């Protein structure tokens, strides 16, 4: 019988744990790990940069609910991978980063790509393990996978020293090690807390008494796949709902009870807010005045006890979003709420919604050329809606492009929106596109990106072409960060005053040509007809494409919410 080396044993353990996809960059000392994984039926998506691969692995974790796997080389590979690891931590998405590291006996003597990687990952990982010997490999693999998915999901790290990667055991010993590690998996880790009946009754009683109740849900509810429980809850109670940006689509944006277009009124006036899988952080104005009423009573549903302790809501329910909402539904079953269309709260929200929607539609209806943000966004919205079900997964990043896209583009299905997330991370675009295409092969992926956001990971268009992924990347090209040079004339002084502004890129950059270098399809568009035809052609081709949309460099501005910080 052939011997099994650590590269093989890692691949075997991953496969045994049900891992079916990996993202990463190969090189010393992990190349054969990737090859072995492929040979065992795991799809390995090879990137140009660990940063994009890491973002991909994090989004894959979010979309599937199972840890996304990121493979990196040692030292700098690990450092680049921290982008993905930290993104997973901040978004509470399950991810496992696996990195090779230098030879244990040469550590501290300046070995090739030497770094104390266990120390480097500390701020960003829930749990990390170093396999110091081949006999520990299967147990370490299962442990990091279990920790990443347990409780509040997050990033975990596995360190594989290069000397260990070359150790071998017999095939039967490898099987024995895997079986032993599987038997000793900590089942308690995966168990989820159960909410007490009395707490559920309290929540329902409060919701019943409320005059202006609101349900808010976020990407934690999306990860919990709470859509059908939420649908039942909204139907039984008639309570209006507000999704966070990535909660969009759990219930369709065009639902009668969607309060998105009346967001300020909804959060400003609600008296009881049931918040499910969404943190009361900056994205929800910390749950504080002036955006929220000072008397609002929060009922928070979160898998994380720490989160509840941090926010100190009126009532905290620690548990899985789907389980908790199902239990609430059971509790209200025999006695449904009936807020109804004529209830003053519902009337106020729907009146506001109608007003805001008609204002926005009036803006959108105009064909402005050279393009502002609104005109092309409307055309893209309509082209996406025309596709029907399964809806494409939308990837969005940028300043204006993401903000305007969030209000204009319509999400009708769960987990079909990936954006800059909790950290507002720019550079996630192509990694997210690739993860979405790999996680949901039945769906088209459409990215709507600012030119600056696109640039962070643009080289990965080659990866799209190499794997022939059905991804259409639409670049809103306004010549820079926020677009062009926006300095006042008196600011433009000093010895480097003739340099381009820090916000500027080459005007008219031919991003569509970039993908053509690898055999993909590129389009340059500047009018409604050109855009419509590029969308129609690329959506039906389902092949990698970049649509370079020329936008007026002076259209739009920084997001209202963040302007004071710049």
Provide the binding-site residues for ligand ADP, judged by CB under 6 A: 91-92, 152-153, 218-220, 223-224, 244, 246-247, 277-279, 281, 283, 302-304, 307, 320-321, 422
Of 279 and 378, which has the nearer Cβ to ligand ADP?
A: 279
Residue nearer to ligand ADP on the CB measure, 126 or 378? 126
Calculate Rg over the CA atoms of the chain: 25
From the CB of 478, what's the least distance to Mg ion, in Å?
Answer: 4
307 binds, among Mg ion, ligand ADP, none (CB under 5 to 8 A by kind): ligand ADP
Residue 246 touches which of Mg ion, ligand ADP, none (CB < 5 to 8 A by kind)?
ligand ADP
Under the rule (CB under 5 A), what is the footprint of Mg ion?
A: 450-452, 478, 483
What is d(CA 210, CA 32) in angstroms, rounded to the nearest whole number? Answer: 60
CB of 347 to ligand ADP, least distance (A): 28
CA distances, 87 to each of 153, 265, 291, 401, 430 (Å) = 12, 31, 27, 21, 15
Residue 478 interacting entry, from ligand ADP, Mg ion, none, C-beta within 5 to 8 Å by type: Mg ion
Which of residues 36 and 219 has its CB atom nearest to ligand ADP in the complex?
219
**Cβ closest to Mg ion, residue 403 vs residue 451:** 451
What's the min distance (Å) between Cβ of 276 and ligand ADP? 7
Select from Mg ion, ligand ADP, none the partner in contact with residue 303, using the beta carbon and a kind-dependent cut-off of 5 to 8 Å.
ligand ADP
Find which of ligand ADP, Mg ion, none residue 138 binds, CB within 5 to 8 Å per kind.
none
For ligand ADP, the closer CB: 66 or 521:
66
Long-range contacts of 250-258 (CB under 8 A, 24+ apart): 250/217, 250/221, 250/222, 250/226, 250/414, 251/227, 252/410, 252/411, 252/412, 252/413, 253/410, 253/411, 253/412, 254/410, 254/412, 256/350, 257/346, 258/353
Smallest distance from Mg ion to CB 483, Å: 5
We find the least distance from the C-beta atom of residue 511 to Mg ion, in angstroms, to be 11
**Minimum distance of Mg ion from residue 78's CB (angstroms):** 31
Closest to 152 in 3D by CA, of 277, 284, 275: 277
Q: Among ligand ADP, Mg ion, none, what binds residue 450 when CB lies within 5 to 8 Å by partner kind?
A: Mg ion
Q: Within 10 Å of residue 20's Cβ, how many Cβ atoms? A: 14
- SS3 per-residue string spanning 441-482: CCCCEEEEEEHHHHHHCHHHHHHHHHCCCCEEEEEEECCECC
Q: Count of alpha carbons within 13 Å of 244, Cβ hemisphere only?
A: 26
- Closer CB to ligand ADP, 174 or 300, in the complex: 300
Complex with ligand ADP: residue 212 or 417, whichever CB lies closer:
417
Tokens of 72: 């990196």
352 binds, among ligand ADP, Mg ion, none (CB under 5 to 8 A by kind): none
Smallest separation, CB 429 to ligand ADP (Å): 18
Cβ proximity to ligand ADP: between 247 and 398 the closer is: 247
Q: Please, what is the end-to-end C-alpha distance for the chain in angstroms?
A: 64
φ and ψ of 456, to 5 deg: -60, -35
Q: Name the token pair of 157.
A: 């790290």
The C-alpha angle 433, 551, 519, rounded to 5 degrees, equals 45
């Amino acid at each position: 019988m052939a011997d099994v080396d650590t590269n093989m044993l890692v691949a075997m353990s991953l496969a045994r744990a049900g891992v079916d996809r990996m993202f990463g960059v190969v090189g010393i000392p992990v190349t054969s790990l990737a090859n072995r994984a492929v040979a065992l039926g795991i799809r390995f998506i090879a990137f140009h940069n660990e940063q994009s691969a890491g973002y991909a692995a994090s989004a894959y974790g979010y979309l599937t609910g199972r840890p996304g796997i990121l493979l990196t080389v040692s030292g700098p590979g690990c450092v680049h991978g921290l982008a993905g690891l930290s993104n997973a931590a901040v978004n509470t998405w399950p991810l496992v980063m696996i990195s090779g590291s230098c030879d244990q006996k040469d550590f501290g003597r300046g070995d090739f790509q030497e770094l104390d990687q266990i120390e480097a990952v500390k701020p960003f990982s829930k749990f990390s393990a170093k396999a110091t010997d081949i006999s520990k490999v299967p147990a370490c693999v299962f442990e990091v996978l279990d920790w990443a998915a347990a409780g509040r999901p997050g990033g975990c790290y596995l360190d594989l020293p290069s000397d260990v990667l070359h150790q071998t055991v017999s095939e039967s010993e490898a099987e024995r090690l895997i079986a032993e590690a599987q038997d000793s998996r900590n089942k308690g880790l995966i168990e989820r807390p159960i909410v007490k009946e009395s707490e559920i009754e309290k929540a329902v009683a409060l919701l019943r008494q409320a005059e202006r109740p609101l349900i808010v849900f976020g990407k934690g509810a999306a990860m919990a796949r709470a859509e059908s429980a939420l649908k039942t809850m909204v139907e039984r109670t008639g309570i209006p709902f507000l999704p966070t940006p990535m909660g969009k689509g759990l219930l369709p944006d065009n639902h009668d009870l969607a309060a998105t277009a009346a967001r300020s009124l909804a959060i400003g006036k609600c008296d009881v807010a049931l918040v499910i899988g969404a943190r009361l952080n900056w994205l929800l104005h910390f749950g504080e005045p002036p955006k929220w009423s000072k008397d609002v009573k929060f009922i928070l549903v979160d898998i994380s006890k720490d989160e509840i302790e941090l926010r100190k809501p009126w009532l905290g329910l620690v548990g899985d979003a789907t389980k908790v909402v199902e239990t609430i539904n059971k509790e209200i079953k025999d006695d449904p709420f009936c807020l109804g269309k004529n209830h003053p709260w519902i009337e106020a929200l729907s009146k506001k919604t109608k007003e805001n929607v008609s204002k926005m539609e009036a803006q959108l209806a105009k064909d402005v050329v050279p393009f502002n943000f609104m005109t092309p966004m409307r055309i893209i919205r309509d082209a996406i809606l025309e596709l029907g079900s399964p809806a494409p997964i939308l990837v969005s990043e940028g300043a204006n492009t993401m903000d305007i896209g969030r209000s204009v583009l319509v999400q009708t299905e769960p987990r079909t929106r990936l954006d800059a997330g909790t950290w507002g991370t720019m550079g996630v675009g192509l990694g997210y596109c690739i993860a979405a295409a790999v996680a949901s092969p039945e769906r088209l992926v459409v990215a709507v990106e600012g030119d600056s956001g696109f640039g962070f990971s643009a080289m990965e268009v080659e990866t799209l072409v190499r794997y022939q992924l059905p991804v259409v990347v639409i670049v809103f090209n306004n010549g820079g960060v926020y677009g062009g040079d926006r300095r006042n004339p008196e600011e433009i002084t000093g010895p480097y005053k003739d340099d381009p502004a820090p916000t500027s890129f080459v005007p008219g950059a031919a991003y569509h040509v970039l993908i053509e270098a690898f055999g993909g399809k590129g389009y340059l568009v500047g009018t409604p007809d050109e855009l419509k035809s590029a969308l129609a052609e690329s959506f039906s081709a389902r092949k990698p494409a970049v649509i370079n949309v020329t936008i007026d460099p002076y259209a739009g501005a920084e997001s209202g919410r963040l302007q004071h910080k710049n």
